[in-house]
C-alpha cells in the first residue's frame, strides 16, 4: 500500500516546557539559535521533563469548561482531560515551541488512533461568533458532551488570522475505555505504584494539573530537543536514564507494530528543524 505524506507530516508532536522557559529563559526566541544560549537550569529542567515523560508517559490535563451558545441557548463543553498534538512539518517547530515549550515528543498516527484520538474539527470563526450547522447539531444531539472537546474555533480572537486552524491539532481525550484497558493510567490510584510514586513527588500545583498519564509505546518516533546542550546531555549522561527508558519503550511487545517498534526514535534539536 502506498502512502502519500507530501501534504501532512508523518509525525504528531506533543509540545511541552512552556513553564520551564517562563521561569528560566523567557526570551529564548529572541536569539536566532537556541544553541547559543547556555543555561544549566534550562538544560537540567528539560532533561528531567524528558525523563519523566519516557518513564511515566504524557500528561493529560484539563482546561476549564466552556460554553457554546446557539440562538441564546447555552451548551456546556465539559472540563475533560486531554493531550494535544500538532500535525505539521518539522520545519514549523519553532513557532509552536514558542507557544507551548521547546521539547517535542513525536509519535506516529496509530498511537493516537489506538487511544480513540483524532484531528480536531475546526469551526468558524471564534467561539463567540459561530454559525456552524454541524457544530450546533452535534452540540444539541451528542449524548456524550465530552466529545465536543474535538471541536475548536479557527481563531483565538476576533481577528481572522486562523491561528488555531494553522496548528492542525489532534487530541486524545479521557474515555473510561482507555482507563479500563490501561492505555491511560490514573496516577492518583495507589495500585499504579510507579505512577502514584511519581505523582507524590510533584508540587501541589502540578498535582492539581495532572489528571492522567499516557505511557509511550513503540509508535514513539521522535524527540525534538530544545537545544544541542539538552540533546548532548540526554545522549551522553547515563545517570539521566533516558537511554535506558528509550530502550525499554522500544523493547515492548507492541501488538504487531512492525513499523516503529524496535526502531530508535529520530533525535533532532530545535535549531536543526528549520532545515526539514
Query: β-pairing, 58-61 with 210-214?
Result: antiparallel
The C-alpha angle 191, 196, 198, rounded to 5 degrees, equals: 150
More confident residue, 255 or 241: 241
Percent of the chain with pLDDT over 90: 64
Per-residue confidence (pLDDT) for residue 6, from 0 to 100: 52
Global confidence as pTM:
0.91
Q: Whats the size of the chain, residue-wise? A: 276
* DSSP symbols for 25-82: -TTGGGSS-GGG---HHHHHHHHHHHHHHHHH-EEEE----EEEEETTEEEEE----E
Written as nine digits, the cell of 102 is 521547546
Amino acid at each position: 500500500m502506498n502512502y502519500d505524506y507530501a501534504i501532512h507530516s508523518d509525525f504528531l508532536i506533543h509540545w511541552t516546557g512552556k513553564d520551564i522557559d517562563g521561569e528560566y529563559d523567557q526570551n529564548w526566541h529572541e536569539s536566532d539559535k537556541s544553541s547559543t544560549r547556555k543555561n544549566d537550569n534550562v538544560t537540567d529542567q528539560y532533561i528531567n521533563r524528558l525523563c519523566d515523560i519516557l518513564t511515566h508517559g504524557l500528561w493529560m490535563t484539563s482546561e476549564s469548561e466552556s460554553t457554546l451558545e446557539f440562538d441564546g441557548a447555552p451548551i456546556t463543553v465539559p472540563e475533560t482531560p486531554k493531550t494535544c498534538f500538532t500535525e505539521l512539518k518539522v520545519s514549523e517547530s519553532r513557532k509552536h515551541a514558542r507557544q507551548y515549550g521547546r521539547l517535542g515528543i513525536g509519535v506516529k498516527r496509530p498511537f493516537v488512533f489506538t487511544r480513540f484520538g483524532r484531528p480536531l474539527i475546526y469551526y468558524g470563526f471564534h467561539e463567540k461568533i459561530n454559525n456552524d450547522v454541524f457544530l450546533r447539531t452535534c452540540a444539541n444531539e451528542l449524548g456524550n458532551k465530552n466529545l465536543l472537546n474535538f471541536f475548536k474555533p479557527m481563531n483565538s480572537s476576533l481577528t481572522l488570522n486562523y491561528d488555531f486552524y494553522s496548528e492542525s491539532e489532534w487530541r486524545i481525550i479521557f474515555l473510561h475505555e482507555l482507563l479500563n484497558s490501561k492505555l491511560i493510567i490514573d496516577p492518583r490510584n495507589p495500585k499504579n505504584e510507579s505512577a502514584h510514586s511519581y505523582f507524590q513527588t510533584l508540587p501541589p500545583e502540578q498535582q492539581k494539573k495532572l489528571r492522567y498519564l499516557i505511557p509511550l509505546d513503540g509508535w514513539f518516533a521522535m524527540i525534538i530537543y530544545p537545544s544541542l546542550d539538552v540533546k548532548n546531555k540526554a545522549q551522553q549522561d547515563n545517570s539521566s536514564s533516558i537511554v535506558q527508558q528509550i530502550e525499554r519503550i522500544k523493547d515492548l511487545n507492541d501488538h504487531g507494530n512492525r513499523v516503529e517498534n524496535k526502531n530508535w526514535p529520530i533525535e533532532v534539536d530545535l535549531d536543526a528543524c528549520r532545515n526539514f
